[in-house]
Amino acid sequence: MYIDSQFDPDGSPLTVLDVFNTIHQHQVSQEFQASGTSFAQKVHWVGGLYYFREAAHEEQPVNIALELFHGDANFNPIMDVLNRNYAVFGQADVNLTDRLKLTLGGRVGDDAAEAGLMHVGYPNPTLQQPLVTRSASWGSFLPRLELEYQFAPAVMAYASAAEGSKSGARSKSDNRLRSSR
């Protein structure tokens, strides 16, 4: 994906503030699954592998009061981002009786995220703030357990417990965030 835009927030004929924005972003995700039944149709199962990778580069040159500062107050924040996720997952529905079903499942994942930000003078690249990067990586196990009972064709009750996550998020107690300047 490629985005190239510009806007003039002050709306005046003078260059009080002009912002330009260019984003190059690419992502790919792929999932492979296998599924089937076993043990005389008493177990229905699915398992698979998941892969995700995203890379983005953004530049946002800003012109501030060109007429007043003669181009010396302009800057260009440049950001690079890389995210990835690998996972293995599986689930099995076990028919314990004609009315009672047990579901067991889980997902094991490995995530990593990295972002770098640098401010460069624009159009004078000799004015530059050092590159600041942040990165984190974490693994996760997300279990699932469910018990279901069919009282009648139209009446069913179940109890379920599962843990989930949001890609790109990590626990506040996770201290593996590191930075470099």
Is 181 part of a structural domain of the chain? no
Query: Is 109 a domain residue?
Result: yes
Least confident of 35-39, 62-66, 130-134, 167-171: 167-171
User: What number is the average pLDDT over the span 24-30?
Assistant: 95
| Domain assignment of residue 180, yes or no | no
Residue 47: partners with Cβ closer than 8 Å, 6 or more residues away: 33, 34, 35, 88, 89, 90, 91
Position 176 in a domain: no
| Domain-embedded: residue 177 | no
pLDDT mean across residues, the chain? 84
- Answer yes or no: is 85 within a domain: yes
Sort residue 65 into left (φ over 0), alpha (ψ -120 to 50) or beta. left
Least confident of 20-24, 38-42, 143-147: 20-24
Residue 61 lies in a domain: yes
pTM across the whole model: 0.71
Contact between 92 and 103 under an 8 Å Cβ cutoff? The reply is yes
In this predicted structure, what is the pLDDT of residue 176? 45
What was the pLDDT predicted at 150?
96
Q: List the domain range (segments joined by +) for residue 158.
A: 2-171
Does an H or E element contain 18, and which? strand 17-38
Give me the number of domains the chain comprises. 1
Question: In the chain, pLDDT over 70 holds for what percent of residues?
Answer: 83
Q: Is residue 179 part of a domain?
A: no
Chain centroid to Cα 22, Å, comes to: 21
Q: What is the pLDDT of residue 133?
A: 87
The pLDDT score that the predictor gives to residue 180 is 39
